[in-house]
């Protein structure tokens, strides 16, 4: 292959291996950076959410403003667990019901509060004509009214009126920008580093496979290579049920995955 072709290969995205995954240290460093622009804020939230929710890049791209819900699930004392992100019909979703990813409340670096602030300051509101939570039949189809949760940003500071959707390249760039701002070398990170990081960290923290599958939507034998190095359970330090209990997991268990990042 000619030298110029080799040079070209280096800059194309296809075939780039995901050698690195995002860890709690990366996520905490990124979350601690002070916001410099709308672009920074969108990127920071996208990378944090992508990791805590073990998102596929296509899932992040397709999120709409009305897919984010807070304060709907409360414990017996009426305290909210955090937020839920709804995914429309996706891979492995034979019944087409959609699925939830759950993000628990945090401390100083709480992601749920940060997303709420971002939505408010960027004026990303649920549209008055949105039918998603009014009509069950509309739930698993794109809303089309509210627009993307992470739209394209122009000049670092504004969304345009059309609220255009980002693509996979924007996610890869966002990860690189966030890591660079946090003084971390971004070599070996791709858009899969979020999902891979989320799954690996939860596993290392002793979150059982059944709970990891709830958050990530992955099946044990699917795309093992990048989604999880190994699906087996580690000796858990968590007081968590190993398998789906009768009547499904308790709500608080479902928030454990995101809490492993300790934000």
Q: Under the rule (CB under 5 A), what is the footprint of Zn ion?
A: 66, 130, 132, 143, 145-146
Are the CB atoms for 23 and 6 separated by under 8 Å? no
Q: Whose Cβ is closer to Zn ion: residue 142's or residue 206's?
A: 142
- In angstroms, the CA 66 to CA 40 distance is 22
100 by DSSP, 3-state: which? strand
Give min distance, CB of 99 to Zn ion, in A.
18
Cα 94 from chain centroid? 22
Rounded to a whole number, what is the distance in angstroms from the first to the last CA of the chain? 47
Q: Whose Cβ is closer to Zn ion: residue 132's or residue 218's?
A: 132
- In angstroms, the CA 212 to CA 256 distance is 9
Q: Whose Cβ is closer to Zn ion: residue 144's or residue 156's?
A: 144
Q: Whose Cβ is closer to Zn ion: residue 141's or residue 204's?
A: 141
Give min distance, CB of 118 to Zn ion, in A.
17
Identify the bridge partners of residue 69 per DSSP, sorted by sequence position.
Answer: 84
- In angstroms, the CA 98 to CA 196 distance is 21
Return the ∠ at Cα 219 (arms to 260 and 50), rounded to 5°.
Answer: 40
Give min distance, CB of 25 to Zn ion, in A.
35
- In angstroms, the CA 18 to CA 77 distance is 43
Give min distance, CB of 30 to Zn ion, in A.
28
Give min distance, CB of 65 to Zn ion, in A.
6
Are the CB atoms for 200 and 27 separated by under 8 Å? no
Give min distance, CB of 42 to Zn ion, in A.
19
Q: Whose Cβ is closer to Zn ion: residue 24's or residue 98's?
A: 98
Structure tokens belonging to residue 130: 């949105």
Q: Whose Cβ is closer to Zn ion: residue 113's or residue 145's?
A: 145
Structure tokens belonging to residue 78: 């009426």
Give min distance, CB of 165 to Zn ion, in A.
14
Q: Whose Cβ is closer to Zn ion: residue 130's or residue 184's?
A: 130
Q: What totals of helices (H) and strands (E) does the chain contain, helices first?
A: 11, 3
Structure tokens belonging to residue 184: 């971390």
Question: Please, which residues have CB within 8 angstroms of residue 128's CB and are 6 or more apart in sequence?
Answer: none
């Amino acid at each position: 292959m000619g030298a110029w072709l080799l040079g070209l290969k280096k800059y194309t995205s296809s075939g780039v291996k995901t050698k690195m995954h995002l860890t709690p240290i990366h996520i905490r460093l990124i979350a601690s950076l002070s916001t410099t622009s709308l672009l920074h804020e969108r990127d920071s939230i996208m990378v944090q959410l992508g990791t805590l929710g073990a998102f596929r890049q296509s899932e992040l791209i397709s999120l709409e403003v009305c897919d984010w819900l807070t304060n709907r699930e409360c414990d017996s004392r009426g305290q909210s667990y955090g937020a839920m992100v709804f995914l429309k019909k996706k891979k492995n979703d034979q019944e087409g019901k959609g699925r939830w990813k759950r993000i628990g409340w945090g401390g100083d670096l709480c992601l749920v509060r940060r997303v709420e602030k971002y939505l408010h300051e960027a004026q990303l509101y649920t549209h008055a004509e949105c039918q998603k939570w009014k009509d069950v039949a509309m739930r698993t189809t794109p809303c089309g009214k509210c627009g993307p949760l992470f739209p394209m940003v122009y000049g670092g500071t504004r969304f345009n009126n059309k609220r255009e959707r980002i693509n996979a390249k924007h996610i890869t760039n966002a990860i690189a920008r966030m890591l660079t701002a946090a003084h971390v070398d971004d070599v070996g990170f791709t858009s899969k580093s979020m999902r891979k990081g989320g799954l690996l960290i939860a596993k290392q923290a002793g979150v059982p496979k059944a709970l990891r599958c709830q958050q990530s939507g992955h099946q044990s034998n699917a795309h093992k290579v990048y989604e999880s190095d190994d699906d087996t359970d580690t000796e858990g330090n968590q007081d968590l049920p190993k398998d789906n209990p009768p009547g499904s997991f308790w709500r608080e268990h479902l928030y454990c995955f995101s809490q492993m990042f300790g934000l």
